[in-house]
Chains A and B, each alone.
Chain A
Amino acid sequence: GEDVEQSLFLSVREGDSSVINCTYTDSSSTYLYWYKQEPGAGLQLLTYIFSNMDMKQDQRLTVLLNKKDKHLSLRIADTQTGDSAIYFCAESMDNFNKFYFGSGTKLNVKP
């Protein structure tokens, strides 16, 4: 079955870049997403990438997709304390009806 894996924790200093990694097993994944969850809040869509793309940039966020290795990463440039949250990787296939989520990576940004 589908499996999405992420490392559990990442700690960086304010102003540094953060790189959050994700691996998935299903090569038929068509869409890959990054969601952010702040304490007490829901899952906020940050960005997404189609499987026919290698990279997508959106302001401070850069998503890299290595389809051969089934590896997805989210780079946050100039990380701020407000970026501290849990970041979830998710994938979906063509049926669109469900997402498969990773366990989430807790990003801690130190001042």
Chain B
Amino acid sequence: EPEVTQTPSHQVTQMGQEVILRCVPISNHLYFYWYRQILGQKVEFLVSFYNNEISEKSEIFDDQFSVERPDGSNFTLKIRSTKLEDSAMYFCASSDGNRSGYTFGSGTRLTVV
């Protein structure tokens, strides 16, 4: 079964550093998403991406965050100048546009120290 692949599985970074979280969506999917889950809290929507542009973003997704699809296979989330409160599990997801739900990756656990 096709999978969404996320790397790395765990990233530790110092406060103020930039991180790039990588995702390889399912190859024929057109819609891409990032969600995050702070420990003990809900899974929260960050951003959706379609046709090479952001289609929707949440209040969390401020100027510190950016997304990119640099080639035909990768979808990245960049966090500039990380803060302690950015520590969370970040999930990438993709969809073919069918309303039967997304396919999620296994997540990247980001720890900011």
Residues on A close to B: CB < 8 A? 4, 31, 33, 35, 40-45, 48, 88, 90, 95-104
Contact = CB atoms under 8 A, between A and B. Distances in A.
B41 interface: yes
Contacts, number: 53
A7 to B, nearest CB: 14
Interface string B53-69: 00110100000000000
Contacts of A40: 106
Interface in B10-53: 33, 35, 41-45, 48
Contacts of A97: 48, 55-56
Contacts of B41: 103
A42 B48 contact: no
Contact of A42 (B44, B91, B97): B91
Given A42-B4, A99-B35, 4 more contacts: A42-B91, A97-B55, A101-B42, A103-B42
Contacts of B106: 40-42
User: Which of the listed residues A42, A90, A96 has the most CB atoms from chain B within 10 Å of its own CB?
Assistant: A42
Interface of B: 4, 6, 33, 35, 41-45, 48, 55-56, 58, 91, 93, 97, 99-107
Contacts of B42: 4, 101-104
A42 B105 contact: yes
A98 B102 CA distance: 10
Contacts of A45: 100-103
B105 A95 contact: no
User: Which of the listed residues B97, B101, B102 has the most CB atoms from chain A within 10 Å of its own CB?
Assistant: B101
Given A31-B99, A97-B55, A97-B56, A43 B43 contact: yes
A106 to B, nearest CB: 12
Contacts of A41: 106
A10 to B, nearest CB: 17
